[in-house]
Amino acid sequence: MSRRSKTWQSYPRIDSSEITPESVWLNRRNLMKAAAAGAGLTAVGEAVAQPKALKDLSFTEASDDTPFKATEDLTPYEAATTYNNFYEFGTDKSDPVRHADAMTTDPWEVKVGGLVNKPGTLHLEDVLSGFDLEERIYRFRCVEAWSMVVPWIGFPLSKLLERFEPKAEGKFIEFKTLYRRSEMRGTRSFTSIIDWPYREGLRMDEAMNPLTLMTVGLYGKTLPNQSGAPLRLIVPWKYGFKNIKSIVEINVTDRQPKTSWQDLAPQEYGFYANVNPEVSHPRWSQAWERRLPSSLFNPNRVRTQIFNGYAEQVAGLYKGMDLARFY
């Protein structure tokens, strides 16, 4: 807790030695119950969007002294799930937690296709029960120069891809987020210039890297909607926007897929989007980050590391590439 603001009070504190602090979940669960009870009393007969109940997950804990277990203090659950970018629900950081519960996540299907031998559909149940779940404590660096440390639960993307047997000519993976206007108020904005659905992509070797996680939970439970329920990508050495949420489609392709932010502002957001303090950005300094929670008098600024501190695991993927050009 050494670097964390001492004045931070509105989020429950977590001892960094505690990997899965049950007290936090219990508190939240009680809060939700209380909120539900209150809503029931005040709004009889009115349909009130309730935060869905999150399920406990069983998983293997991350081993010490591996890149799968960052040693920094964890960002509290409340902070990690109330401060989000999920533009389908609005552009403000507090929009996702307020509006994402409108999204139906059960039933959920993920179509896997493109250059694979066995195209098919994954159902939510297959995802939750069909893979061995592991905990991964990763640093998360947003391109907006803030960062968190989050205990995710998931399984390597490579395990998923293997089931569908990518063909040899498959060089890239394309992902798409759910696009359902009726449930996603951000996609109904007249002034939004994003071409929905949100799209992201990885090179095949990036997708097969053991760090790359198909994520179904955080803090020991299934993902809340604002965090990208029920299935999202986490690629810890890349900027946050690569970590596409609420995935409904995965395609193996032979050419580099178009990605939403690159499409919108190619001079700002590249396909690779590797965390790199050397590559300047026209909006935010990439040399520093605010490790959240931050405060006005203790901003908690830390220096950004190349590949977000995962250089040992991933630098080899980009050998010989000009990272300033392929940002």
Q: Which residues bind other proteins (CB under 8 A)?
A: 7-11, 75-76, 78-79, 82-83, 87, 91, 93-94, 144, 146, 189-194, 264-265, 280, 282-285, 288, 290, 292-297, 299, 301
Owner of token pair 């505690």: 18
Instruction: Report, in Å, the least distance between residue 177 CB and other proteins.
Output: 14
For residue 29, the number of C-alpha atoms closer than 13 Å in the C-beta half-sphere is 10
Beta carbon nearer to other proteins, 59 or 152: 152
- Rounded to whole angstroms, how far apart are CA atoms 113 and 166? 9
Amino acid at 87: Y
What does DSSP assign to residue 257? Answer: P
Nearer to other proteins, 158 or 192 (CB): 192
Residue with tokens 């929905």: 196
Of 11 and 131, which has the nearer Cβ to other proteins?
Answer: 11
CA distance to 217, 224, 233, per residue, from 54 (Å): 9, 7, 19
Least distance (Å) between residue 190 CB and other proteins: 8
70/160 with CB nearer other proteins: 70
From the CB of 130, what's the least distance to other proteins, in Å? 34
Quote the CA–CA distance of 327 and 325 in Å, as a whole number: 6
Question: Nearest approach, Cβ of 314 to other proteins (angstroms)?
Answer: 26
Smallest gap from residue 90 Cβ to other proteins (A): 9
Instruction: Return the number of the residue (58 or 191) whose C-beta is nearest other proteins.
Output: 191
Are 308 and 141 within 8 A, CB to CB? Answer: yes
Residue type, 83: Y
